[in-house]
Amino acid sequence: MDVLEYENNCDWHYELRDTYPSIPYFPDKGFRVLPGGWQDIKAAHALNNYAQQHQSERMLGYLCTTWGLSNPVKYPIGDL
């Protein structure tokens, strides 16, 4: 996968995993990436922590996502 249509990519992971191999893969291939989690707060923490361990100049940050109504009081950004 050396060619993608876009230079910036969102790398969504919704479930808890031991590793997220695509997090370092995309920047290593020259793409800018925004990892993004959803709903499962433990999975979001794990993804964010993994992304922080694999930071590079092509890691643009972390994308907080929601698919519907959200409760910002229940999941404040500061908790990630």
How does pLDDT run across 22-65, given as a tens digit for each residue?
Answer: 999 989 988 899 999 988 889 999 999 999 999 999 999 988 88
Residue type, 38: W
What's the token pair of residue 55? Answer: 């930071």
Q: Give the largest CA-CA distance in the chain.
A: 41
Cα radius of gyration rounded to whole Å, the chain: 13
Q: Does pLDDT of 1 surpass 80?
A: no
Query: What pLDDT does residue 38 have?
Result: 85
CB 38 within 8 A of CB 44: yes
Query: What pLDDT does residue 75 have?
Result: 56
Q: How far apart are CA 12 and CA 34, in angstroms?
A: 8
Dump pLDDT digits (tens) for 68-79: 766 666 655 555
With left for phi above 0 and alpha for psi between -120 and 50, is residue 6 left, alpha or beta?
A: beta
Query: What pLDDT does residue 71 have?
Result: 62
